[in-house]
Amino acid sequence: MDPLNALVLLANFVIIPALAYGSQLALGALGITLIYGILRFSHFAHGDIMAFGTAMVIITTWVLQGAGISAGVLPTALLALPVGIAATIAYALAADRTVYRFYRKVRAKPMIFVMASLGVMFVTNGITRLIIGPGERRFDDGVRFVFTVRDFREWSGLAEGLALRSAQAITIVAALIAMALLFWFLARTRAGKSMRAYSDNEDLALLSGINPERVVIITWAIAATLMVLAGTLYGLDKSFRPFTYFQLLLPFFAAAILGGLGNPLGAVVGGYVVAFSEMGITYAWRRFFVHLLPEGWEPAGLMQLLPVDYKFAVTFGILVLVLIFRPTGIFRGRSL
Amino acid sequence: MTAHADSHVRPPDATGPEPVLIGENMTGGYGGADILHACTIAVEKGQIAVIVGPNGAGKSTAMKAVFGMLKLREGHVRLNGRDITALSPQARVAQGMAFVPQTANIFPSMSVEENLEMGAFLRTDDFSETMEQVFDLFPILREKRRQAAGELSGGQRQQVAVGRALMTRPDILMLDEPTAGVSPIVMDELFDRIVEVARTGISILMVEQNARQALAIADMGYVLVQGRNRYTDTGQALLADPDVRRSFLGG
């Protein structure tokens, strides 16, 4: 029986990776939920615009690296973030001007908006591939580890090791800062309150003198910022590939719907729940139980509920269960 | 908000008592057949005007026409002597009109205080004094200022809705069936508050289903039938009129 080693093992293979992945999902789901709350449609182009924004960050990173500029121990991509965010905000606003604004004007049904966003998704998908290609790109530099498995073993004297990669630490910290800023913005500022008012009751917001086009612009700007941040952090933590980013749409929506569409706090909670479920269900728990159970009780099998390849099945399962049993989500957002 | 400050000044060339708000000879509908036929509704400064009538008489439509939510084929709407017929509802709010819809008249997920802040969205000056006045008028709202408006009772929500509308310091407050769906006790209390609002100099135009109670507090009553003015008189006179009583007040 060795609960400490069991805990360290769990932290290394489940808790820390899931916290990082959950932060990335939370940022993406926040964008989905904001767009749903304000513009009232499911934004299917989310993953691909995220890929576009990340591509912009990667290209800027290359330029900075070429010019010999770096952020020292931190990845250069962090310096490139503002450029990527500006480009993505411009892209999202251009998409709004050319596509969505027309459907707003004719007060189209949400399903038509969803189909339009599907079109934006395909176009964005093509643009991203034209710019940076369909292949995998790694763009992390700077120091790779905050501490390594060996550092931890020497420090603690435990049999199990624990590593914290810089990308994971940066992801968790950056996501927490971004979320804190967003919640402060929504709760305290005039613009943030006008967004919530518009989301709550569009007609009354109009009567109160809130300018809907302004609310829409702010929403796109925030959603685009969150997309680029989520995409860059995901790319640093894992790697960048346009198709992988498109696939993130599923956990994003699962997180947003699980938390309650239109509810920002729900999106954050949903992001972490989805991440921990994916990691927990596809992790081989054998060694954890070897540490925890008395000698001779070791499980014979791997104790893995599903192979890692099936992590999207976990997310899909969550999505289906939520839609059947609690369509408004944990925090009672709008149902689809 | 210079336009707002100016709007308190009666135009010097007005002959006779020009009402704060008048919708004159309004004819129109939501496209298709007309619902209103030469309907006239006017409200004097600091007075309460009530529109009553049977179901489908066009009561709410008349109020919406005054507020610009309905395109008029004929007729004019004047606010403080200025023709506002061509203005959008939002522009009319900026000119000093406030409207409380019958349903969906609050921001349910926002706190009571935030609801009032949103009411004052157009104001660039310090509105804390107005908020205090609203809290004085509806003390229960001060108590529940941090609570989400959607969690309040029906009567309290109506108070939030009226309070939100008052935040622009309007010249005229328009209420579409403010007592719909609230208990009789709450209804009496709401009417008391509405009288208090009128005493502060704000004119009130109200559509009411509870005709008897509404006419009792009304300075002026408009009985509409099929989009036309049938009876127009002071509230007391209408209550005393045997024809009105028989036809519209149940004897």
3-state secondary structure of A14: helix
Distance from CA of A30 to the nearest CA of B (A): 18
Q: Which of B93, B107, B117 sits opposite A200 (nearest CB)?
A: B107
| B110/A193 touch (CB, cutoff 8 Å), yes or no | yes
Interface residue of A200, A203, A211 to substitute, partner B, most B CBs within 10 Å: A200
Q: Cβ of A207 and B99 within 8 Å?
A: yes
| E strand or H helix at B43 | strand B36-43
The reply to whether residue A193 touches residue B99, judged by beta carbons under 8 angstroms, is: no
Of B90, B110, B114, the CB nearest to A209: B90
Least trusted range by pLDDT, from A194-208, A295-309, B57-71, B142-156 = A295-309
- CA neighbor of B38 nearest in space, from B73, B14, B7, B4: B73
**pLDDT for position B10:** 39
Cβ contact B184:B213 at 8 Å: no
The model carries a pTM of 0.89
Whose structure tokens read 């992801």? A171
> Residue A2: what pLDDT?
86
Cα distance from B238 to chain A (closest Cα, Å)? Answer: 33
Which pLDDT belongs to residue B14? 43
Q: Look at B118 and A206 and tell me if their CB atoms are within 8 Å.
A: no
DSSP states along B55-107:
TTSSHHHHHHHHHTSS-EEEEEEEETTEE-TT--HHHHHHTTEEEE-SSS-S-
Q: What is the pLDDT of residue B251?
A: 65
Query: What residue segments make up the domains of chain A, in order of their start?
Result: 3-325
3-class state of residue A161 by DSSP: coil
Q: How far apart are alpha carbons A296 and A299 in whole angstroms?
A: 9
pLDDT grade for A302, boundaries at 50, 70 and 90: confident
Q: Give the model's pLDDT for residue B31.
A: 80
Residue A170 has pLDDT above 80, yes or no: yes
With an 8 Å Cβ cutoff, are B119 and A193 in contact?
A: no
How many helices (DSSP H) and strands (DSSP E) are in chain A? 16, 2
CATH of domain A3-325: 1.10.3470
**Exposure class string for B79-116: b at 16+ Cβ within 10 A, else e:** bbbeebeebebbebbebbbbbbbbeebbbebbbbbbbb
Measured CA to CA, the distance from residue A168 to residue B43 in angstroms comes to 66
Contact A207 B109 (CB under 8 A): no
Task: Mention every residue, 6+ apart, whose C-beta is less than 8 A from residue A194.
Answer: A205, A210, A214, A215, B118, B121
Chain B positions in Cβ-Cβ contact with residue A209 (cut-off 8 Å): 90, 93-94, 121-122
- Tens-digit pLDDT profile for residues A242-278: 999 999 999 999 999 999 999 999 999 999 999 999 9
pLDDT band at A169 (very low <50, low <70, confident <90, very high): very high
**B166, B98 Cβ separation under 8 angstroms:** yes
Least confident residue range of A54-58, A305-309, B11-15, B113-117: B11-15
B110 vs A200: CB contact, 8 Å cut-off?
yes
Mutation target among B121, B162, B169 for the A interface, most CBs of A within 10 A:
B121
Write down the pLDDT at residue B1. Answer: 38
Q: What is the ipTM of this complex?
A: 0.85
**Where does the pLDDT of residue B224 fall: very low under 50, low under 70, confident under 90, or very high at 90 and above?**
very high
Q: What is the pLDDT of residue B129?
A: 95
Residue A295 has pLDDT above 90, yes or no: no
CA distance A192 to A79: 27
